[in-house]
Amino acid sequence: MYNLKPDATHQIRVHMSHIKHPIIGDPVYGNNKSIRKGVDSSLRDFILNFSRQALHAFSLELTHPVSKQEMKFVAELPDDIKTLIDALNSYD
């Protein structure tokens, strides 16, 4: 189990931008110029208009601060990210 600080998504976003792989949909650290040249215009438009940050945690585990009970939450991949993955996988 990882103990993530509240700013963990910020750290991920900064790191990914630093290594020239910004998170799709990140309004602060995203970089539209990092989309490869030659990418189909419809895929480019889809990426540029993605409505949120393409980040998702499948599973989170934590210790409840009051009861000290171990808690686990699981969330399947949202449809918009599934669609994004399919679009990216279809790119040659």
Q: Whole-prediction pTM value? A: 0.74
The CATH number of domain 8-89 is 3.40.50.1360? no
Extents of the domains making up the chain: 8-89
Average pLDDT over residues 55-77: 95
At 22-37, the pLDDT tens digits run 999 998 888 777 787 8
55: phi then psi, degrees, rounded to nearest 5: -120, 140
Model confidence at 79: pLDDT above 70: yes
- Looking at residue 1, its pLDDT comes to 45
Helical ranges in the chain per DSSP H: 8-18, 41-48, 79-89
Higher per-residue pLDDT: 91 or 25:
25
- Looking at residue 51, its pLDDT comes to 92
